[in-house]
A and B are shown apart, each in its own frame.
Chain A
Amino acid sequence: MGALAHYLEAKGIATTQISLIRVHTEKIHPPRALWVPFDLGRPLGVPDDPSFQKKVLVSALELLNARSGPVLVDFSEEAPVGADDSDAAQAAWSCPISFSAPEQAETDLEKQVSALRREMTELMPWYDKRRKEQSRTALANFEPDAAAGLLCDYLLDQSPEPGDSEMTLAVAIRLAVQDLKTFYYEAASHQPGTTPPTSREFARWFWTQTAAGHLIRSVSEKCKTEPDKTLQMTGKAFLVPMGW
Chain B
Amino acid sequence: MARLENLTEPMRSHIADLPCPQFDHTPWVNVPELANQRIAIISTAGLHRRGDRPFGGMDGDFRVIDGTSKAEDLVMTHISTNFDRTGFQQDWNVVFPIDRLRQLADENRIGSVADFHYSFMGAADPSKMAPSAENLAGLLKGDNVDAAVLIPV
A-to-B contact residues, CB < 8 Å:
1-24, 27-31, 36-48, 50, 53-54, 57-58, 60-62, 64-65, 67-70, 78-79, 135-141, 167-168, 171, 174-175, 177-178, 181-182, 185-186, 196-199, 202, 230, 237-243
With a cutoff of 8 Å between Cβ atoms, the chain B residues found around residue A136 in the complex are 71-72
The minimal Cβ–Cβ distance linking A5 to chain B, given in whole angstroms, is: 6
The reply to whether A65 and B34 form a contact with Cβ atoms under 8 Å apart is: yes
Contacting residues, chain B, for A61 (C-beta < 8 A): 34, 39, 104, 109-110, 147, 149
Interface residues of B in 1-60 (CB under 8 A from A): 1-4, 8-11, 14-16, 18, 20-23, 26-31, 33-34, 37, 39, 42, 44, 50, 54, 56-57
A-B interface contact total, Cβ < 8 Å: 257
Complex contact B94–A42 (CB within 8 A): yes
Instruction: State whether B44 touches A171 (Cβ < 8 A).
Output: no
Query: Is B86 on the interface with A (CB-CB < 8 A)?
Result: yes
A196 to B97, CA, bound (A): 21
A38-B2, A61-B149, A243-B10 as given contacts; A181 in contact with B85, CB under 8 Å: yes
Q: Fill in one digit per residue for B116-153: 1 if any A CB lies within 8 Å of its CB, else 0.
A: 00001010001101100110111011000111111111
Contact, CB under 8 Å: B29 / A12: yes
A97 to B18, CA, bound (A): 40
Whether A53 pairs with B93 at a CB distance below 8 angstroms is: yes
| CB <8 Å contact, A29 and B23 | yes
Shortest distance in angstroms between A143's beta carbon and chain B's nearest beta carbon?
Answer: 12
| A242, B16: Cα distance in complex, Å | 14
| Nearest B residue to A15, CB-CB | B148
Please, which residues of chain B bring their CB within 8 A of the CB of A15? Answer: 147-150
Cβ-defined contact, B26 with A14, below 8 A = no
CB distance from B128 to the nearest CB of A (A): 10
Do B28 and A6 touch across chains, with their CB atoms under 8 A apart?
no
Count of residues in B whose CB is under 8 Å from the partner chain? 83
Q: Chain B residue with minimal CB distance to A199? A: B84
A24 and B149 within 8 A (CB): no
Q: Is the CB of A31 within 8 A of B79?
A: no
Chain A residues in 8 Å Cβ range of B99? 50
Measured CA separation A47–B87 after assembly (Å): 5
Whether A58 contacts B104 by the Cβ 8 Å rule is yes
Which one, A17, A24, A36, A241, contacts B82 given CB within 8 A? A241
Are B2 and A37 in contact, CB atoms less than 8 angstroms apart? Answer: yes
- Closest CB-CB distance, B149 to chain A, in whole Å? 5
Q: With A197-B86, A238-B79 given, is the CB distance from A24 to B122 under 8 Å?
A: no
Is B68's CB within 8 Å of the partner chain A?
A: no
Q: Establish whether residues B84 and A6, one from each chain, have CB atoms under 8 Å apart when the complex forms.
A: no
User: Are B152 and A30 in contact (CB-based, < 8 A)?
Assistant: no
Docked-complex contact B34 and A47, CB < 8 angstroms: no
The answer to whether A47 touches B91, judged by C-beta atoms less than 8 angstroms apart, is yes
> Nearest chain A CB to B106's CB is how many angstroms away?
11
